[in-house]
């Protein structure tokens, strides 16, 4: 009898250990909304049924629901990318089991979020074909508006639930001359006009995503500071929500670039990377463990405004010595034209054609122009060194118009990294230039807004 009790006790301990291991596995699924291939294989029926055998009530139920939500999210984002797709292909792309795909698509059909399209595939010469049932998103379920604020421009995009951009508009205005009141009024009026011009879509407006150059406070919903505007601490989210009665998400523009890259291809860009944007200003976006990292108030990754040289050159943010004050477009003009380092960035008067002329001069052998880009490469290298030392990141992507001069900066960048990096840190470091895609910011705004919209619609289930 005593022996039997001991065996039972040992057996109970073994079961407890197994449950703990299972719970640990479940926790590892909580973070990414786009799953790696190894995870995908385990998110279907097998893990769910396993949990139902060994689970202990609400916590496993909650985890199962979370996995199901992630799978629905993944199916919706795949449909948005593929437009029309058969269930079997949906399973192949997502790695989900046929039973999971069938169950989730049945839910989505019932909610009216997707529709079936019957088409004839594999047409044979005699005119007989095999009917195929394709799935597609119902475009009119909801729409979102993307708003991008940059110096002297506001861009509006209207995007339907299927992820198609149906309308766009660019408003030009002298942004730095606009007061807080003028800017807010203009934004509201122009957005209202944009919606009035598209009344059918506007009826289904569900989300407004707003990306701004500079520093934002996502908790308060304020533009803390932007090079596009003179006034600070602009309470924009509350104003938009009050006027349009829908959710509004405020972000920094470079964060939206990181979001766009990760959402477009997580396998390619990876779960951990930094994207550095070099254009009028300089910014960075961090993807850490498959999530956009924005810090407590959304102001993390203000790479361009981290201190480079104490009491150094005047920056567009009003402080001295920021990295941007040595890398932004106004810094290039200031150096090339021997202007004082405390010339106000807003007064330097930069046009992109001026930067292009300096790039061409450098390529033609102009020593002064070459030195400007060599200095820029060195500063960038110092900045990247700090990021790597802090975050242990191995992948850096560079984007923005200034990267078109990457060939002119590359040597000094590499030297700068060689001098500054501890040798153990530069192993496997990759720096890649992403050129030719001007739409990354708005693609990120749309991806983020769609993610929130999907969550909201699926919560009804
Ligand atoms: Zn600054």
Averaged over 192-219, what is the pLDDT? 93
* Angle value at C-alpha 207, between 205 and 210, nearest 5 degrees: 125
Confidence class for position 28, pLDDT limits 50, 70, 90: very low
30 C-alpha to ligand 1 centroid (Å): 36
Which residues neighbour 34 within 8 Å (Cβ) at sequence distance 6 or greater?
A: 74, 77, 262, 263, 266, 290
Q: Decide: helix, strand or coil at residue 106.
A: helix
What are the tokens at 131?
């009917």
Q: State the pLDDT at residue 29.
A: 25
Confidence class for position 73, pLDDT limits 50, 70, 90: confident
> In whole angstroms, what separates CA 37 from the centre of its chain?
21
421 C-alpha to ligand 1 centroid (Å): 24
Residue range 261-301, pLDDT digits in tens:
998 888 888 889 999 999 989 999 999 998 899 887 777 76
Four-point Cα dihedral 17, 21, 24, 29, nearest 10:
-150
Confidence class for position 65, pLDDT limits 50, 70, 90: confident
CB 253 within 8 A of CB 228: no
418 C-alpha to ligand 1 centroid (Å): 26
324 C-alpha to ligand 1 centroid (Å): 6
CB 282 within 8 A of CB 276: yes
Q: State the pLDDT at residue 283.
A: 92
Q: State the pLDDT at residue 460.
A: 64
Among 33-37, 197-201, 317-321, 360-364, the minimum mean pLDDT is found in 33-37
What are the tokens at 381?
């290298």
Q: In degrees rounded to 5, what are phi and psi of residue 232?
A: -115, 170
Mean residue pLDDT of the chain comes to 83
59 C-alpha to ligand 1 centroid (Å): 46
Per 3-state DSSP, what percentage of the chain is helix, strand, and coil (rounded to 5)? 50, 20, 30
* Percentage above 70 pLDDT, the chain: 82
Q: State the pLDDT at residue 59.
A: 57
Question: Tokens 């380092």, residue?
Answer: 341
Neighbours of 136 (CB within 10 A): 16
CB 376 within 8 A of CB 406: no
Residue range 151-176, pLDDT digits in tens:
899 999 999 999 999 999 999 999 98
Q: State the pLDDT at residue 266.
A: 81
Q: In whole angstroms, give the CA distance from residue 394 to residue 429.
A: 5
* CA nearest neighbour of 289 among 25, 35, 20, 24: 35
Distances from the Cα of 225 to the Cα of 33, 303, 398, angstroms: 31, 15, 23
Q: In whole angstroms, give the CA distance from residue 128 to residue 126.
A: 6
Q: State the pLDDT at residue 400.
A: 93
What are the tokens at 305?
């405004």
Which residues neighbour 412 within 8 Å (Cβ) at sequence distance 6 or greater?
A: 373, 374, 375, 376, 377, 378, 381
228 C-alpha to ligand 1 centroid (Å): 13
Q: State the pLDDT at residue 216.
A: 92
304 C-alpha to ligand 1 centroid (Å): 6
> In whole angstroms, what separates CA 439 from the centre of its chain?
12
15 C-alpha to ligand 1 centroid (Å): 57
Among 59-63, 85-89, 112-116, 226-230, the minimum mean pLDDT is found in 59-63
Containing 167, the helix (H) or strand (E) segment is: strand 165-172
Averaged over 443-456, what is the pLDDT? 91
Neighbours of 339 (CB within 10 A): 14
- The secondary structure of 4-68 as a DSSP string is HHHHHHHHHHHHHHHHHHHHHHHHTTSS-SS--HHHHTTSSHHHHHHHHHH--SHHHHHHHHHHH
Residue range 327-377, pLDDT digits in tens:
999 999 999 999 999 999 888 888 899 999 999 999 999 999 999 999 999
326 C-alpha to ligand 1 centroid (Å): 10
Q: State the pLDDT at residue 353.
A: 94
The alpha-helical segments, DSSP class H, found in 219-299 are 236-244, 253-264, 266-269
153 C-alpha to ligand 1 centroid (Å): 21
> In whole angstroms, what separates CA 195 from the centre of its chain?
25
Size of the chain in residues: 461
Q: State the pLDDT at residue 45.
A: 29
214 C-alpha to ligand 1 centroid (Å): 9
194 C-alpha to ligand 1 centroid (Å): 34
Q: Decide: helix, strand or coil at residue 25.
A: helix
CB 85 within 8 A of CB 133: no
User: What are the chain's domains?
Assistant: 22-120+129-137 (1.10.10.10), 140-257+441-458 (3.30.420.40), 260-437 (3.30.420.40)
208 pairs with which residues across the strands? 145, 248
401 C-alpha to ligand 1 centroid (Å): 19
Higher pLDDT, 10 or 435: 435
Highest mean pLDDT (candidates 72-81, 117-126, 133-142): 133-142
What are the tokens at 148?
């991008």
271 C-alpha to ligand 1 centroid (Å): 29
Q: Decide: helix, strand or coil at residue 311.
A: coil
282 C-alpha to ligand 1 centroid (Å): 9
E strand map for 28-84: none
58: pLDDT strictly greater than 70: no
Confidence class for position 320, pLDDT limits 50, 70, 90: very high
148 C-alpha to ligand 1 centroid (Å): 21
């Amino acid at each position: 009898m005593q022996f039997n009790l001991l065996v039972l006790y040992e057996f109970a301990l073994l079961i407890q250990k197994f449950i703990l291991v299972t719970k640990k596995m479940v926790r590892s699924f909580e973070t990414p909304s786009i799953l790696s291939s190894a995870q995908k294989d385990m998110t279907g029926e097998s893990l769910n049924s396993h949990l139902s055998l060994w689970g202990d009530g609400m916590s496993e139920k909650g985890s199962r629901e979370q996995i199901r939500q992630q799978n629905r999210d993944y199916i919706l984002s795949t449909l948005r990318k593929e437009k029309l797709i058969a269930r079997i292909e949906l399973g192949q792309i997502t790695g989900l089991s046929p039973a999971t795909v069938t169950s989730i698509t049945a839910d989505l059909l019932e909610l009216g979020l997707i529709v079936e399209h019957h088409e004839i595939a594999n047409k044979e010469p005699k005119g007989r074909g095999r009917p195929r049932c394709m799935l597609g998103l119902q475009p009119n379920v909801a729409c979102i508006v993307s708003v991008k604020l940059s110096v002297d421009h506001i861009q509006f995009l209207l995007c339907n639930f299927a992820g198609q951009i149906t309308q766009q508009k660019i408003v030009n205005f002298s942004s730095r001359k606009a007061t807080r009141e003028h800017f807010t009024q203009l934004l509201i009026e122009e957005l209202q006009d944009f919606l009035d011009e598209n009344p059918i879509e506007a009826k289904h407006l569900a989300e407004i995503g707003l990306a701004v150059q500079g520093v934002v406070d996502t908790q308060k919903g304020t533009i803390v500071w932007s090079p596009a505007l003179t006034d600070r601490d602009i309470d924009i989210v509350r104003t938009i929500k009050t006027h349009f009665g829908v959710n509004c998400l405020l972000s920094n523009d470079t964060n939206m670039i990181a979001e766009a890259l990760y959402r477009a291809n997580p396998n390619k860009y990876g779960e951990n990377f930094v994207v550095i944007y070099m254009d009028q200003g300089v910014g960075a976006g961090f993807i850490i463990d498959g999530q956009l990292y924005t810090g407590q108030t959304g102001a993390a990754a203000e790479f361009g405004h981290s201190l480079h040289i104490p009491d150094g050159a005047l920056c567009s943010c009003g402080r001295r010595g920021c990295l941007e004050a040595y890398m932004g477009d106004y810094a290039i003009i200031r150096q090339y034209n021997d202007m004082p380092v405390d010339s106000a960035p807003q007064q330097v008067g930069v046009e992109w054609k001026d930067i292009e002329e300096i790039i061409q001069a450098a390529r033609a052998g102009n020593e002064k122009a070459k030195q400007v880009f060599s200095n820029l490469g060195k500063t960038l290298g110092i900045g990247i060194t700090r990021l790597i030392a802090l975050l242990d990141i191995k992948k850096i992507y560079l984007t923005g118009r200034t990267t078109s001069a990457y060939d002119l900066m590359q040597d000094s960048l590499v030297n700068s990294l060689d001098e500054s990096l501890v040798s153990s840190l530069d192993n496997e470091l990759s720096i890649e230039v992403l050129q030719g895609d001007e739409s990354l910011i708005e693609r990120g705004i749309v991806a983020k807004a769609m993610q929130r919209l999907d969550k909201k619609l699926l919560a009804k289930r």
